[in-house]
Amino acid sequence: MFRPNLSNSQLLFFLYRQTPRTYRVLQRLNTARLELHTHTVMLTTASSTLLRSKSASFIRTTTTIYLRAANMSTSASDRLVLTSRSPNNSVAILTLNRPKALNALSSPLFEQLNEELEKADEDESVKAIVLTGGEKAFAAGADIKEMKDKQYAEVYKTNFLGSWTKMSSIRKPIIGAVSGYALGGGCELAMLCDILLCTPNATFSQPEITLGIIPGAGGTQRLTHLIGKARAMDMVLTGRKINGTTAGEWGLVSRVVGEGENVVDEAVKVGETIAGFGAVAVQAGKEAVNEALELPLDQGLRYERKLFHSLFATADQKEGMGAFAEKRKPSWTNQ
């Protein structure tokens, strides 16, 4: 094994002459200091002459790849919400990224989350959104360090936690994928999702009572709608924890994935299924179901019927019913 003897200055020379853009970007990120010993170039060769003739090209290529990866990693570590796409590009995947704090929901994190949700909602190529956290914690609650010294006047005047409700205004379906802890604000965030999947060993709880407060972002209201008064009262007044299997039995989650199944992968599959339908009908369906929580039955039925009637003015209704009659797959235009 032959190791070329390159000094730091020689490597920096190659970086500057051969990959100036990458080097300057890295420099702006204050990471231009290279740890040469961890990135020693190693080549198997029978000829030092060949090495000298190829070294510049090799170093340029391998170093550029490394620096791009480092740049991406640095950028990702600064973001509290990471974004990616499903293989067919129709599902936006948002991942909470405060692993050291078990994804505690700070105000900066929620600002970024709302920003990314709005971007996905406005992007016509996105048909559904998956929201997830880490394997150990979806979100272990609100950021108590941020909250502990707040006073009544401050939280009242600033409508503290009010920004959490913005998620409910997103028009596209949001599929939650919960693994690990979903406690307090994390449980409330999960309940804001339209469809919620979890692992059998996920943990849900509203433990605010142990802190001298009660849930403030839907933990008394949405929880009661989902699992009923008796069970909601139990969780809110005792701080009781339930696992994913129980959450499925109680109706807190839509589906509990099987042992060994990846909850994010399963959530993406749900998103891709939804993305395969006409976007107008999907949006109308979400709107109608949400209104069921707000309206008496007779008013809800009228609301549903109006939306149903309105879809007969869409091109997708004509296409969907025409395709069914002709025994072919529909080609949606989302119009």
Whether 188 is catalytic: yes
Measured CA to CA, the distance from residue 70 to residue 52 in angstroms comes to 27
Q: Which of 137, 141, 182, 188 is catalytic?
A: 188
Q: Is 223 exposed, middle or buried (0-12, 13-18, 19+ CB in 10 A)?
A: buried
Q: Which of 141, 180, 184, 185 is catalytic?
A: 185
Measured CA to CA, the distance from residue 140 to residue 182 in angstroms comes to 5
State the Cα torsion 198-203-209-213 to the nearest 10°. Answer: -50
Whether 322 is catalytic: no
Q: Residue 111: CB partners within 8 Å, gap ≥ 6?
A: 163
Whether 142 is catalytic: yes
Whether 154 is catalytic: no
Q: Which of 208, 219, 232, 279 is catalytic?
A: 208
Q: Residue 202: CB partners within 8 Å, gap ≥ 6?
A: 138, 178, 179, 180, 181, 182, 243, 244, 247
Cβ atoms 335, 314 nearer than 8 A: yes
What size, in residues, is the chain?
Answer: 335
Q: Which of 142, 177, 217, 275 is catalytic?
A: 142
Cβ atoms 58, 41 nearer than 8 A: yes
Residues with catalytic roles: 142, 185, 188, 208
